[in-house]
Amino acid sequence: MKNDSAVLSLKDISAGYYERKVLLGVNLEIKENEIVLLIGPNGAGESTLLKVIAGILRPWAGEVFFKGTRLDGLSPAQRAKLGISYFLQGGEVFPNLTVEENLMTAGLFIKREIFIRREEHLFRLFPKLADLKCRRAGLLSGGERHQLALGMIFVRHPSLMLLDEPSAGLSPFLVEELMEKIGSMMREMQSSILMVEQNVKEGLKIADRVYLMKAGEIVKGSSTEEIKGQKVLEQIFFS
């Protein structure tokens, strides 16, 4: 069930690297229990925006609010403790640890009984991970690694998940399956998701709303249903 309360609010965010400005006054809002898709052509600034929210990149101007609290000056670790989890493109795991050890590391500060319950839920969502519990993460396939990286987020049950191209490098079949799993995770955790995804067709299947970015700016925000069938996507990607 969705709630109109804002989990995340960005106000006039500008940011970049050295002297190159990438984000130009971005405004964005995410409500409780919704999946928001952020799309645009390569170089539009979507991944940079996720880095600002996660605390990896400091904005040049503007404000980031999480559940009404300004995040200025908070490190990525501090933001994670507040309930923000960040999925890096490609899926970041500890390659020398087993699947279960990766999950245990992600749940290090969670009470054991809660962790066990969440791990059981996770293995129902991703049954293949249960079969691979003792395998080193460095030996997993791309799809398996993505599942593990998402699983490490799941055991923490964050309020907000930032997903940077979770389907990158996966086959079309695996992309469809992964998107279904992401939707299931969101419903299980009752979390919100901001997802950057170049596979727009599959992303639209699970998203509630969409923001379109171009050249560092949000050029349109609407519901998924309003976006479907419009020529606005062609204008964004090919003009």
DSSP codes joined into one string, 66-121 = ETTEE-TT--HHHHHHHTEEEE-TT----TTSBHHHHHHHHTTTS-HHHHHHHHHH
Q: What is the pLDDT of residue 1?
A: 45
- pLDDT interval class at 91 (50, 70, 90): confident
Express as a percent the part of the chain with pLDDT over 90: 69
Is the model more confident about 213 or about 169?
213
Task: Report the alpha-carbon distance of residue 19 to residue 31 in Å, rounded.
Answer: 33
Query: Do the beta carbons of residue 233 and residue 75 sit within 8 Å?
Result: no
Q: What is the pLDDT of residue 92?
A: 85
pLDDT digits (tens, 9 = 90+) for 12-60: 999 999 989 999 999 999 999 999 999 998 889 999 999 999 999 999 9
Quote the crossing angle between the two packed helices 142-154 and 112-125, to the nearest 10°: 140
Query: Domain 3-238: which topology?
Result: Rossmann fold (3.40.50)
Query: Do the beta carbons of residue 30 and residue 8 sit within 8 Å?
Result: yes
Q: Where exactly are the structural domains of the chain?
A: 3-238
pLDDT digits (tens, 9 = 90+) for 93-142: 999 999 999 999 999 889 999 999 999 999 998 999 999 999 999 999 98
What's the whole-model pTM score?
0.90
